[in-house]
Amino acid sequence: MTDSPLYKEELRHFIKSALEEDVGRGDLTSLAIIPADQRLSAAMVARENMVIAGMFVASELIKTCDPLAQIDVIAADGLEVMAGSTILKVSGNAQRLLTAERAALNILQHLSGIATLTRAYVREIEHTDCRLLDTRKTIPGYRKLAKYAARTGGAMNHRMRLDDGLLIKDNHIARIGSIKAAVEAAKAYDTSASTIGITVECDNLAQAADAAIAGADRLLLDNMTNEMLRSAVQQYKGRVKLEASGGVTLDTIKAIAETGVDYISVGRITQSAPAVDIGMDYLD
């Protein structure tokens, strides 16, 4: 993949913040013991099987530290690599590359971890027409990058922010009094910006019926059993979009997809994905 989720200024600001957090006023160790004119070459190596995501950020961060560095990206974003694979080679000023190492690896490991876990979920449901969705459960400041990594792994992006999707949840319904009243209020508002139409979270089939009758565009079937999901599919498939959610794991997603729902949203692909293991091996 080559579609950057960040504008140039956003990427510059993100890298600046990452380096300020990690480096501060300077890499004291490298400045103290590495000659200023010393050069080195290094390779990033995958220590486990993974899907690459965030290589463009890691490369740009290295370039920010050492504008003259020579970088050879071997594994671009979206590529699935095996343990032991070299994914990037770099040569440049030793002090500056050592300064860049940790932040570059942190970003690449985190985003590749999201892409790798996402790909595993996608594989479980690829024999169906169901699509995997991400959620807003992301580390603050990483929203665009985390959703990019999920997309790299094969998921569809759900709403990016609160301003691009109208999702009526239980707390909204509790405050206004009923699903019918909530949907009516939503319809009276300008919903043209909503990428998911009017979506209503439903905890049971009675709420699903209320939402469908009220004119919802999508039903978010939350924590329902597979039997309940199949019932909802039989009643509403083709009339409204059906999205299953709530505690979905790699062990359960296949059976959920096979109920016939259109989407399954999984928060853990961005919230709980473990970082993958990537090492920096110095060659000289």
- CB count within 10 Å of CB 213 equals 11
Tell me the average pLDDT of the chain.
96
* DSSP state letters, 167-228: EE-HHHHHHHS-HHHHHHHHHHS--TT-TT-EEEEESSHHHHHHHHHHT-SEEEEET--HHH
Q: What confidence score (pLDDT) does residue 236 get?
A: 97
Instruction: Say if CB 216 and CB 180 are below 8 A apart.
Output: no
> Residue 2 pLDDT > 60, yes or no?
no
State in words which class domain 156-265 has: alpha beta
State both tokens at 270.
Answer: 């961005």
Q: Do domains 8-121+273-282 and 156-265 have the same CATH topology?
A: no
CA 135, CA 160: separation in Å to the nearest integer?
Answer: 8
Give me the percent of the chain exceeding a pLDDT of 90.
96
154 with 132: CB under 8 angstroms?
A: yes
Structure-block tokens of residue 30: 């490298």
pLDDT of residue 4: 75
- Alpha-carbon distance values, 112 to 61, 72, 87, 104, 220 (Å): 16, 18, 12, 12, 28
> For a pLDDT cut of 70, what percent of the chain falls above it?
99
Tell me the catalytic residues.
102, 137, 169, 201, 222
The first and second tokens of residue 160, run together, are 């990016």
**Mean local confidence (pLDDT), 250-276:** 97
Mean pLDDT value of segment 49-61: 97
Under 8 Å between Cβ of 186 and 167:
no
**36-55 mean pLDDT:** 97
In the structure, what pLDDT confidence band is assigned to residue 191 with cuts at 50, 70 and 90? confident
Please state the rounded mean pLDDT for residues 56-63. 97
Tally of residues, the chain: 284
pLDDT at 3: 66
Residue 77: predicted pLDDT: 97
Q: Average the pLDDT over 33-38 and give the result.
A: 96
- Residue 248 contacts residue 220 (beta carbons within 8 Å): no
Mean pLDDT of 41-49: 98
Amino acid at 60: E
pLDDT-based confidence at residue 75 (cuts at 50, 70, 90):
very high
User: How confident is the model over 192-207, as pLDDT tens digits?
Assistant: 889 999 999 999 999 9
Structurally, at CATH architecture level, domain 8-121+273-282 sits in: Alpha-Beta Complex (3.90)
* Phi/psi at 131 (5° precision): -115, 140
Domain spans of the chain, in order of start: 8-121+273-282, 156-265
Q: pLDDT tens digits for 132-159?
A: 999 999 999 999 999 999 999 999 999 9
